[in-house]
Structure 1
Amino acid sequence: MKFNRGRRHRPNLKTEVGSGDMPSILPGNIQACNGDRLSELPVDVLLNILERVGTLDAVRTCILSKQMQMLPNMLSQIVIDLSPRDLFQKSHVVADVTNKILSRRCPHITIRMLKLKFVLSPSCCLSIGKSVGLAMTTQKFDAAEFQIMTPKDFHVSTDAHRVLFAKQFNTFVRDCPDAFAGLTRLHVQNMNFGESDIPNILSYCKRLESLSFFMCGAGSSSVLYLEHAQLVELVISYCRFKTVEVKSLPKLQRMTFGDWTCDENPLVLNFVPQLSKLSLANPNFSGKTLNLSKLLANAPTVNDLFLEFRSEKIWVQPECPKVLAPLLAKLRFVNLDHLREECDISWTMFLLEAAPSVEDLCITVWDHKCRRKSHESYSKKTDVKWKPSGPDFKHKNLARLTIYGFQSDDNFTGYVRRVIQAAVNIRKVSLHDRKVCELCSEKFPHAEARPSGYPRTSEEMDLSRKKMAAASATTCPDIHFCS
């Protein structure tokens, strides 16, 4: 369960509801009492409790007494977020409850949050869309979210299924324009669109602030053009487009782009004047690399950069600091995730050399087997070639270095020593052992794991500290071993 505090007097708690049992969040004395005793509580207290347990459970609870039956119509938060298994079994329930609550609401009570997860079935979608659309025109919404599942899971869907789902979704949007006009968040998955479909859909979603595509596409030779006046967050994962071209997103602040299918210009950023956080992830089976200088040519505002390599080949090309410096001038946080274990991590220094404002650098080295798609691609990896900086290089702003997967060998100790020498104001170095994934162990029970070289005893830790601080010209920072 996650808390999202809205009004000070009524905390907002999302909870997934999938059973008829009363959630344990209710105090024991309230759970034990009868309906009349519960209904004696003040309305504000009852609404506070009901918004904590989720909308379907709130409706079930209010059946306890006649005095409580009107409370669901007074909720300022309506969240129906079933698990996928329950959702497929109870899709009609989502439509029915949504319609009853929205049609009977008190119009003067603002809906702070409407979040609906539902299956893309024509009858249920139309019912939900019409109910939400009517409410949009008569009531005030602070935020509204649709998370749309397809009748078949993406693991078993064919291209023909995905084309059909996209057509059904397009029809849904056209039939319920008022609902989509008020949406602030939209999540779609498992659909193959025509090239003009997504721009048309966005033209309906005037208030949209967050957009997420998962396992979608328009063909491997297609270009996805994105243009929207209000979009703040964009997530594109495991989608099939030749290129995603962000033409104009003037309010975009956060973007996640993962597992692109084409190595040549997979992402083009044009007008993104407020982009501050950029997350990119790809396994790079082809071995081709991207130049950050080209990718970020129109995005010099990025201050938080997350690059993930899926325990495969490095897909970013180390570049001359002088070329990158104008584009990375505002970069403060760098996270390099899932670097393969045999990779020499010294290549990552090029980011420090090109980004003088970086304060926090986090590196995770981990052969995460269950995320790899083939052993063949993994076995053909090569080290990154780069030209190291001279011994006089200094970095004045780096304060924290964190490494997951640290081993007591020259690759790591030499790297930490080099960073300490360059970062004259570094205060803390946190070194962790390899991360553990239970799924990796279950999926590859006979795979040989490299022996861990992480220091365990105080003597081993002291020896590693001496190696890392041996040639430091400044005061050594605190070096913590966080096993």
Structure 2
Amino acid sequence: MKFNRGRRHRRNSKAEVGSGGMLSKLPGDIQACNWDRLSELPADVLLNILERVGTLDVVRTCILSKQMQKLPAMLSQIVIDLSPRDLFQKSDVVADVTNKILSKRPPHITIRKLKLKFVLSPSRCLSIGKSVGLAMTTQKFDAAEFEIMTPLDFHLCTDAYCLLFAKQFNNFVHDCPDAFAGLTRLHLRNMRFGESDIPNILSNCKRLESLSFFMCGVGIGSVLHVEHTQLVELVMSYCVFKTVDLSSLPKLQRMTFGDWPCDENPLVLGFVPQLSKISLANPNFSGKTHNLSKLLANAPTVNDLFLEFRSEKIWVQPECPRVLAPVLARLRFVNLDHLPEECDISWTMFLLEAAPSVEDLCIIVWDHKCRKKSHESYSKKTEVKWEASDPDFKHKNLARLTIYGFQSDGNFTRYVRRVIQAAVNIRKVSLHDRKACQLCAEKFPHAEVRPSGYPRTSKEMDSSRKKMAAASAAACPDIHFCS
């Protein structure tokens, strides 16, 4: 096979401008081929290759060949998802490429996925919205997603800026109704809305399946009522509301709710008949605890529960299994994150007693410095009042126990032994050392680190296994030390 070396050199030099060129991202066997041979492949094969890289890389690549210049408009997936730094530098490019690709598309080709991340700028947003809205009216979209960044990061956003960004976004929705009517996913951040704004957004986004808010809200005394017929996923982090009331979400399956500012009825679950996975996280600076039986009262369908104890403060109140059992009857997976290392983890047994269907329990213990609000004592910070579990309690479905931050002390060995005693069919126990927190290392580089008690040698591991299995009447499960 003969190569046109000069022509190949010129094309490769163009394609490799910058570090984001497509050639560096193609499989090795294609990189080894002559570029002309690549452009001569059938269109369906080329499209299959091109859809494995970002859309901006595809556009840059296809400029190099006349035969390939029509391909960007034939993509079934259009994904522009740049890093924040690149996004601010190329915000004009995002709008221009979106318009060119969508305006030249054959109407019979379905867009399986449209994902656009862009900066909230009135002129550029309007260009993107009009392009997407026009395409929505003439073509079929399986999924369409907007992730909207604000010109300022959250730590620089004053209330005035958040109000301004919310106003600009509301204008965007008003000016581009067709685009928002067809959206299936929407991510917003750093916005302070009026009381009717979020309900209006939801009413305009009729196909919306996933909605994410970060650092958004209405006000510390506000109640957000959420109603939508299609919403499947709702994510709310660091949002300012007194209460979030999920009034009617018949298709909601996944809910993430973190860092609520008010402790009085922060979450009310209304009509959520399909809710199966819920994640709750709270720094608990006030010290108030919550009963899961009340928080999850109308969600007996939950089978996956994630609880995060930010600032290493326990905000869940252990409850009587008889009270909690009706709520957790279908629970199968439990993850408890950021438990403080000094806290006796035996209190978590109340979840197993109340949830007979749990198959997998994961506990992650930390010794953070970066999450401490003050130098308050551990005893004040981690105090949990609980009653010892029934010594005759048996659990028939728990198969796996995983602990991160395991130490060879009585706190952990007693707990593992108690779980093994209760879980008569447990098959595997996985024990990991502490997770490393990069933020702690950066903020407190000279802070003294508590020595790890994680077993390192075979002798230490065997000794720990004997302590954990000594009182078990049943056959001991596999206990793995995963260093």
* 2:52 counterpart residue number: 52
Aligned-partner residue type, residue 349 of structure 1: M
Task: Report the alpha carbon displacement of residue 89 of structure 1 after superposing the two structures with TM.
Answer: 1.1
Give secondary structure in 2 for the equivalent of 1:317.
coil
* 2:196 counterpart residue number: 196
* 1:368 counterpart residue number: 368
* Distance in 2, Cα, partners of 1:28 & 1:392: 61
* Distance in 2, Cα, partners of 1:239 & 1:346: 32
Aligned residues between the structures = 466
Aligned-partner residue type, residue 334 of structure 2: V
Aligned-partner residue type, residue 254 of structure 1: R
* 1:162 counterpart residue number: 162
Task: Report the alpha carbon displacement of residue 376 of structure 1 after superposing the two structures with TM.
Answer: 4.3
* Distance in 2, Cα, partners of 1:48 & 1:231: 31
Task: Report the alpha carbon displacement of residue 225 of structure 1 after superposing the two structures with TM.
Answer: 1.0
* 1:9 counterpart residue number: none
Moved more, 368-377 or 358-367: 368-377
Task: Report the alpha carbon displacement of residue 410 of structure 1 after superposing the two structures with TM.
Answer: 0.6
Give secondary structure in 1 for the equivalent of 2:401.
strand
Q: How does 1:2-151 map to 2 (within 5 A)?
A: 20-22=20-22, 24-28=24-28, 30-31=30-31, 36-151=36-151
Aligned 8 A contact 1:120 1:151 in 2: yes
* 1:408 counterpart residue number: 408
* 1:327 counterpart residue number: 327
Give secondary structure in 1 for the equivalent of 2:118.
strand
Give secondary structure in 1 for the equivalent of 2:389.
coil
Unaligned runs of 5+ residues in structure 1 are 1-17
Change (3 A) 1:99 1:448: same
* 1:232 counterpart residue number: 232
Give deviations 1:243-289, integer Å, cap 9, x for gaps. Answer: 11100110000010001100111111011000000001111111100
* 2:349 counterpart residue number: 349
Task: Report the alpha carbon displacement of residue 311 of structure 1 after superposing the two structures with TM.
Answer: 4.3
Aligned-partner residue type, residue 98 of structure 1: T
Say whether residues 1:436 and 2:442 are aligned partners: no
Give deviations 1:128-187, integer Å, cap 9, x for gaps. Answer: 000000000000000000000011111111000000000000000011000000000000
Task: Report the alpha carbon displacement of residue 380 of structure 1 after superposing the two structures with TM.
Answer: 3.7
Say whether residues 1:384 and 2:384 are aligned partners: yes
* Distance in 1, Cα, partners of 2:403 & 2:202: 41
Task: Report the alpha carbon displacement of residue 19 of structure 1 after superposing the two structures with TM.
Answer: 5.1
Give secondary structure in 2 for the equivalent of 1:395.
coil
* 1:284 counterpart residue number: 284
Say whether residues 1:455 and 2:455 are aligned partners: yes
Give secondary structure in 2 for the equivalent of 1:52.
coil
* Distance in 2, Cα, partners of 1:368 & 1:24: 40
Task: Report the alpha carbon displacement of residue 35 of structure 1 after superposing the two structures with TM.
Answer: 5.4
**Percent of matched pairs sharing the same residue:** 87
* Distance in 1, Cα, partners of 2:76 & 2:424: 52
Give deviations 1:214-240, integer Å, cap 9, x for gaps. Answer: 011111111111100000001000111
Give deviations 1:379-436, integer Å, cap 9, x for gaps. Answer: 8413211111221111111111111011111100000111111111111111111011
Aligned-partner residue type, residue 321 of structure 1: P
Task: Report the alpha carbon displacement of residue 374 of structure 1 after superposing the two structures with TM.
Answer: 4.0
Give secondary structure in 2 for the equivalent of 1:164.
helix
Give secondary structure in 2 for the equivalent of 1:183.
coil
Aligned 8 A contact 1:372 1:378 in 2: no
Give secondary structure in 1 for the equivalent of 2:218.
strand
Say whether residues 1:153 and 2:153 are aligned partners: yes
Aligned 8 A contact 1:225 1:246 in 2: yes
Aligned 8 A contact 2:340 2:367 in 1: yes
Change (3 A) 1:421 1:28: closer
Aligned 8 A contact 1:311 1:339 in 2: no
* Distance in 2, Cα, partners of 1:36 & 1:167: 50
* 1:178 counterpart residue number: 178
* 2:245 counterpart residue number: 245
* Distance in 2, Cα, partners of 1:364 & 1:20: 38
* Distance in 1, Cα, partners of 2:288 & 2:269: 20
* Distance in 2, Cα, partners of 1:188 & 1:199: 14
* Distance in 1, Cα, partners of 2:380 & 2:448: 18
Aligned-partner residue type, residue 387 of structure 2: K
Give secondary structure in 2 for the equivalent of 1:53.
coil
* 1:299 counterpart residue number: 299
* 1:262 counterpart residue number: 262
* 1:426 counterpart residue number: 426
* Distance in 1, Cα, partners of 2:28 & 2:418: 57
Aligned 8 A contact 2:186 2:212 in 1: yes
Task: Report the alpha carbon displacement of residue 441 of structure 1 after superposing the two structures with TM.
Answer: 1.2
* Distance in 1, Cα, partners of 2:353 & 2:137: 54
Aligned 8 A contact 1:35 1:64 in 2: no
Give deviations 1:442-461, integer Å, cap 9, x for gaps. Answer: 21112222111111111111
Give deviations 1:319-343, integer Å, cap 9, x for gaps. Answer: 0000001111000000000100100
* Distance in 2, Cα, partners of 1:182 & 1:72: 21
Change (3 A) 1:103 1:235: same
Task: Report the alpha carbon displacement of residue 78 of structure 1 after superposing the two structures with TM.
Answer: 0.3
Aligned 8 A contact 1:406 1:432 in 2: yes
* Distance in 2, Cα, partners of 1:91 & 1:379: 51
Instruction: Output the TM-score relative to the length of structure 1.
Output: 0.94
Moved more, 445-454 or 366-375: 366-375
Aligned 8 A contact 2:399 2:425 in 1: yes
* Distance in 2, Cα, partners of 1:94 & 1:372: 41
Give secondary structure in 2 for the equivalent of 1:95.
helix
Give deviations 1:104-147, integer Å, cap 9, x for gaps. Answer: 00110000000000011000000000000000000000000000
Aligned 8 A contact 1:112 1:143 in 2: yes
Give secondary structure in 2 for the equivalent of 1:97.
helix
* Distance in 2, Cα, partners of 1:184 & 1:315: 34
* Distance in 2, Cα, partners of 1:482 & 1:312: 24
Task: Report the alpha carbon displacement of residue 79 of structure 1 after superposing the two structures with TM.
Answer: 0.3
Change (3 A) 1:404 1:28: closer
* Distance in 2, Cα, partners of 1:441 & 1:308: 21
* 1:216 counterpart residue number: 216
Q: Point out 4+ residue stretches in structure 1 off by more than 6 angstroms.
A: none
Give secondary structure in 2 for the equivalent of 1:460.
helix
* Distance in 2, Cα, partners of 1:143 & 1:52: 17
Aligned-partner residue type, residue 436 of structure 1: A
Moved more, 42-51 or 171-180: 42-51
Task: Report the alpha carbon displacement of residue 48 of structure 1 after superposing the two structures with TM.
Answer: 1.2
* Distance in 1, Cα, partners of 2:139 & 2:215: 34
Aligned-partner residue type, residue 142 of structure 1: D
Give deviations 1:8-28, integer Å, cap 9, x for gaps. Answer: xxxxxxxxxx95433522145
Give secondary structure in 2 for the equivalent of 1:476.
coil
* 2:4 counterpart residue number: none
Task: Report the alpha carbon displacement of residue 37 of structure 1 after superposing the two structures with TM.
Answer: 3.3
